[in-house]
Amino acid sequence: MVKKIFQLKILLINGSPRKDGNSTQLGRAVIEGAVSHGLTAIPEIYIDCMRFKGCQNCGTCNKNGICVVKDDMQSAYASLRVADI
């Protein structure tokens, strides 16, 4: 038996405007398959529902790793940092 050293985390980022469309169903099937093989799913990110502003090229994130733009991406950054896949 192989001992798990760490748990891989998988994140689905959905950019489709159809929240329950084909892309979502396909993505969820991938997530279900990954979870059935021992990965942990992180709550999905729906880009179409988010409001975010583009990079302002201020360079702050290069200094401290944190974006100064306060938009819906702030909640996504945490998921992106945690996700392995």
pLDDT in tens, 31-66: 999 999 999 999 999 999 999 898 999 999 999 888
Residue 48 per-residue DSSP state: G
- 14 — pLDDT class (breaks 50, 70, 90): very high
Asked whether 24 and 14 are in contact (CB, 8 A), the reply is: yes
Strand partners, 41: 10
58 within 8 A of 68, measured Cβ to Cβ: yes
Give the end-to-end CA distance of the chain in Å, rounded to a whole number: 24
